[in-house]
Amino acid sequence: MKQRLLIVLFTALVFGAGYGAHMWFGDDTAVPPPPAAIGSEFAHGPGTPAVTAATDSKNTKRSNAPFDRAKMMAEIQRYSSQIKTYQASLDRIDAEFDQGLKPLFTDDQRTRYAALQKRWADRRAKGEAAIAAETTPLSDEQIFRLQRAPLYGVLSSVSVTMRFDQLKKDLKLADSQDAKVRELLVIRRERFLALIDATPPPSITLSQLALHAAKLGADPEKPAPAK
């Protein structure tokens, strides 16, 4: 019953957020906060102001309250081992899903799927490299986005229909393949929900930000206090 409730609420979040296919090939659209009854760590992490309103596909307004960077750093250090465990578990779930898919595919579909995975990996690597190349601390807007980046993975893991439709389109799945692919997606979702249940907040929203913890520093958009 608990998992069914989680599935319904997370799926509502998917469609309420209005991404559609943007999750796979869209831009950096920020994620609106989910319903208050669930996923509270997704709505705002430690020291994170609430979202106020969306502006366009590239930016999201938030309150002007500054992030408590010292507190965020302390939280990253506190949850460091749990963040690593969460990410390793997530990688394992994805790897098992991929291994289950491959025997179902034709040679052409395996080639297409490998190309899709490379494209996703290249996009992530490009974003990581861009941040790493900067010499200034993370801006509040960058912190805001990094906290919400894991939501893309959350939504893709929970919404079976959205992920299935994308695979069906990109890989040109035959009707005879549909049922097995859906079955693997459901198994993947169940394993992911079990992982969510076992993961203490705010490990998820800090999982991407932790990669750039050294760049938290002082807010580069605000002048240093006078001595």
pLDDT in tens, 22-45: 333 344 434 444 433 334 444 444
Residue 92 lies in a domain: yes
Residue 55 lies in a domain: no
* Single-letter amino acid, residue 31: V
Q: What is the pLDDT of residue 218?
A: 63
Host domain of residue 151: 67-213
Residue 75 lies in a domain: yes
Residue 51 lies in a domain: no
Residue 80, CA distances (Å) to 164, 187, 208, 215 in order? 33, 28, 12, 16
What's the rounded Cα separation, in Å, for the pair 91 and 81? 15
Residue 26 lies in a domain: no
Q: How many domains does the chain have?
A: 1
Alpha helices per DSSP H over the chain: 2-17, 22-25, 40-43, 69-78, 80-101, 107-133, 140-148, 150-158, 160-171, 175-198
Mean pLDDT over the full length of the chain: 76
The structure's pTM equals 0.67
Residue 19 lies in a domain: no
